Amino acid sequence: MRVPLSWLREHTPVEVGVDELVAVLDGLGLAVESVERVGEGLDGVVVAAVAEIGAIEGADRIRRVTVDAGDGAVQVVCGAWNFEVGDLVPLATVGAVLPGGFEIGRRKMKGVVSDGMLCAPGELGLPPVVDGILVLPPGLVPGTPLADALGLHPDVVLELEVNGNRPDAMSVVGVARDVAARLGLPFALPEPSIDEREAGDSLVTVEVEAPERCGRFVARVLTGVTVGPSPPWLANRLALAGMRPINNVVDASNYVMLELGQPNHPYDLGQLPGRGLRVRLAGEGEALVTLDGVERRLGPDDLLICDAEDAPVGIAGIMGGASAEIGPLTTEVLLEA
């Protein structure tokens, strides 16, 4: 489990050095497998808007890319193909020194001058959450320093090995609670800011057919939802924790899971026949295509989340199904936990 130190400090004011914190965590039985420093070495890396992409004669693996870096057009040569005109990307300008000591200079490839480099996550010292160039959230201003745009201030990420008998520590809050207790520090839980309302009519049905495997299952309907990109701070925090940002709904779900350790999953309510959920055990050989596009064969030991017509839409606590995936057209969400 990856825990950014900045996130830990939101729940307990840890001020000891990293080495001492590692010793504390090891003493708590939360073995630290690695310590990673991130957000350093980003001077000279800015947000850039892709303005034009062109072929290079005699080269089929690299392309000429013109970007708007805020103070004019910059031409670079790039071998990644996962972006298009209009996307925002990180540009390391000439003279920048990236994490690891790699200095960006003016280079010529296949006769084309490259005044900088478009960067992949790993080249910026970030987790490799995507293959190719890091495509940034829309709305950022070209020329803005990347560290400011994404809140990529220096941080430390601790990779912890949490044993299966410590589910209470499989969250940022769980780790913070243990650290606070050991060091005698204050500890704070997130405070909900949603106003309580009187119970209304139920908009969905929820049934549990396997109570021996699922002691409690709840769901809530969210209406008037607009799906879009998450704010940069949230997308960056998820990336540091090792999760790929998807959209604001999915990212909020994953954020809560990482922070509180509470498994949950959002479904597109409009894609759920019968507007309900049912929890049951799978039949031998029953199949489900999950969000990663893989068809998975299941058995009687697998706990399923199904729609009201009994078709599987998720593997409980593991992964949702593709049929009710949150997408750009989603306006109603059924959140289960």
Residue 83 included in any domain: yes
Using a 10 angstrom Cβ sphere, with 0-12 exposed, 13-18 middle and 19 or more buried, the burial of residue 131 is: exposed
Model pLDDT for residues 136-193, shown as the tens digit of each residue: 988 899 999 999 988 888 899 999 999 989 999 999 999 999 999 999 999 999 887 7
Alpha helices by DSSP H, the chain:
5-8, 18-27, 146-150, 172-183, 232-240, 248-260
Return d(Cα 125, Cα 90) in angstroms, integer. 13
Q: In terms of domains, do 327 and 251 share one?
A: yes
CATH of the domain at 122: 2.40.50.140
Model pLDDT for residues 99-112, shown as the tens digit of each residue: 888 999 999 999 99
CATH of the domain at 25: 3.30.56.10
CATH of the domain at 304: 3.50.40.10
The predicted pLDDT at position 39 comes to 82
Beta bridge partners of 170: none
Tell me the pairing of strands 107-109 and 303-307: unpaired
Task: Spell 36-69 as b/e; 16+ CB within 10 A means b.
Answer: eebbebbebbbbbbbbebeeeeeeeebbbbbbbb
- Residue 329 pLDDT more than 80? yes
Return d(Cα 91, Cα 93) in angstroms, integer. 6
Q: In terms of domains, do 111 and 242 share one?
A: no
Binning pLDDT at 50, 70 and 90, where does residue 131 land? confident
DSSP string, 206-230: EEES-TTT-S---EEEE-S----PP
Asked whether 192 and 286 are in contact (CB, 8 A), the reply is no
Q: In terms of domains, do 34 and 174 share one?
A: yes
Residue 131 included in any domain: yes
Residue 246 included in any domain: yes
Q: In terms of domains, do 136 and 158 share one?
A: no
Q: In terms of domains, do 330 and 210 share one?
A: yes
> How many domains does the structure of the chain reveal?
3
Q: Which helix (H) or strand (E) holds 256?
A: helix 248-260
Residue 146 included in any domain: no
Model pLDDT for residues 47-76, shown as the tens digit of each residue: 999 999 999 999 989 999 999 999 999 999
Average pLDDT, the chain: 93
Q: Could you say which of 87, 115, 140 is where a domain stops? A: 140
Return d(Cα 90, Cα 124) in angstroms, integer. 9
What phi, psi does 149 have (nearest 5°)?
-65, -40
Q: In terms of domains, do 332 and 242 share one?
A: yes
Q: Which two tokens stand for residue 160?
A: 């912890």
Tell me the pairing of strands 205-208 and 117-118: unpaired
- Residue 128 pLDDT more than 80? no
Model pLDDT for residues 271-297, shown as the tens digit of each residue: 999 999 999 999 999 999 999 999 999
Give the domain extent around 167. 2-39+153-183
* Sole residue written with tokens 């825990």: 3
pLDDT-above-70 percentage for the chain: 100
| Cβ neighbours, 10 Å, residue 71 | 9
Closest CA to 312 of 335, 291, 333, 332: 291
Model pLDDT for residues 227-259, shown as the tens digit of each residue: 998 888 898 899 899 998 899 999 999 999 999
The predicted pLDDT at position 188 comes to 96
The predicted pLDDT at position 138 comes to 86
Closest CA to 25 of 164, 163, 186: 163
Q: In terms of domains, do 35 and 162 share one?
A: yes
Asked whether 308 and 274 are in contact (CB, 8 A), the reply is yes
